[in-house]
Amino acid sequence: MPKHILITGATSGFGLATARLFAAEGWHVAGTGRRAERLDALHQELGDAFLPLPLDMRDREAVTETLGNLPGEWNDVDVLLNNAGAALGLEPAQECSLDDWDAMVDTNIKGLLYATRAVLPGMVARNRGHIVMLGSVAGNYPYAGGNVYCGSKAFVKQFSLALRADLLGTNVHVTNIEPGLAESEFSIVRFHGDTQKAANVYEGTSPITPQDIAETVFWVTHRPTHININRVEIMPICQCPSGPLVKKGM
Ligand code: NDP
Ligand code: 8X3
């Protein structure tokens, strides 16, 4: 009997790479995304091992209805990968678009909550399962222009840890994966389609790849049952955390 992973945001980047890796390992993969044509293409590629779920994670009713009532065996979700998310803009807070802020809160925080709430009762009833979050180093270290994106990922980190507390006494696992610089469509989305600006982010670096993250998801979900990986922070070797900034001449 194949295991089932439900991936939010399977149309690109980390989610797409994870869908391919888990399918290659014999898992059944259900994947969400707004770009239905990309889900269709993945369905063509992976065949019956893939269940396309076109929806917007910001739509509470659609997420609750769809993810809470998957057909047949698909409803026994072994792993939920809460991956769908975005950074929008890199302006200082006083110049940011409120629409961008709303979209980040609604997707990165609220969409993740809707998906979690939809699958959690089944996992608790079966006394097994794993919820893996795509947090970020942005939840650990602030940077200029990160404002609401950093805040949303700090939420994800703390929510993951608090979820562990609620689930103590069950065999339901929770992990927050916290990548640093990684190349996907992330920066194209952040810069609202400006591919040149996005390319500049990675120029001269060796960023994390979606495959690296897929392998991390696979690793954290294949530990012995008595183990829970709480958090995994990953940076490429060309990046490191740094301390508080100082502005001289003030
Ligand atoms: P991509 O932009 O390549 O992929 C984002 C995915 O999220 C797409 O499948 C997209 O699908 C989906 N998504 C976004 N908004 C929505 C929405 N409203 N409803 C449904 N799906 C949505 O980026 P990454 O793969 O890099 O990002 C995946 C996660 O990893 C995000 O949470 C991101 O914050 C996080 N992350 C990324 C890092 C990076 O540097 N790349 C580093 C650390 C964390 P569609 O557009 O089809 O709806
Ligand atoms: C993505 C990494 O540093 O661009 O979450 O915020 S960063």
| Whether residue 134 has its Cβ less than 6 Å from ligand 1 | yes
Which ligand approaches the C-alpha of residue 150 most closely?
2
Whole-angstrom Cα distance, residue 218 to residue 200? 30
Distance 180 CA to ligand 1 centre (A): 14
pLDDT band at residue 224 under the 50/70/90 scheme: very high
pLDDT (0 to 100) of residue 203: 98
Closest to 76 measured CA to CA, from 1, 22, 10: 1
Ligand nearest to the CA of 114: 1
Ligand 1 atom, smallest distance to 189 CA? 2
pLDDT at 213: 99
In this structure, the chain runs to a length of: 250
Q: Classify residue 245 as exposed, middle or buried by CB count within 10 Å of its CB (0-12, 13-18, 19+).
A: exposed
Q: List active site positions.
A: 149
Q: Please report, for the chain, the start and end positions of each structural domain, with discontinuous segments joined by +.
A: 4-180+208-234
Answer yes or no: is pLDDT of 12 > 90. yes
**CATH, domain range 4-180+208-234:** 3.40.50.720
CA angle 228, 233, 238 (to 5 degrees): 155
Q: What confidence score (pLDDT) does residue 51 get?
A: 98
Residue 33 Cβ contacting ligand 1 at under 6 Å? yes
250 Cα: distance to centroid of ligand 1 (angstroms)? 39
What is the tens place of the pLDDT at every residue in 170-217? 999 999 999 999 999 999 999 999 999 999 999 999 999 999 999 999
The reply to whether ligand 2 has any atom less than 6 angstroms from the CB of 136 is yes
One-letter amino acid for residue 158 of the chain:
Q
pTM (two decimals): 0.98
Looking from the CA of residue 201, the nearest atom of ligand 2 is 4
Q: How far is the CA of 169 from the centre of ligand 1 (A)?
A: 32
Residue labelled with tokens 């057909």: 71
Q: Token pair for residue 207?
A: 């960023």
Whether residue 243 has pLDDT greater than 90 = no
pLDDT at 97 over 90: yes
Is the CB–ligand 1 distance for residue 207 below 6 Å?
A: no
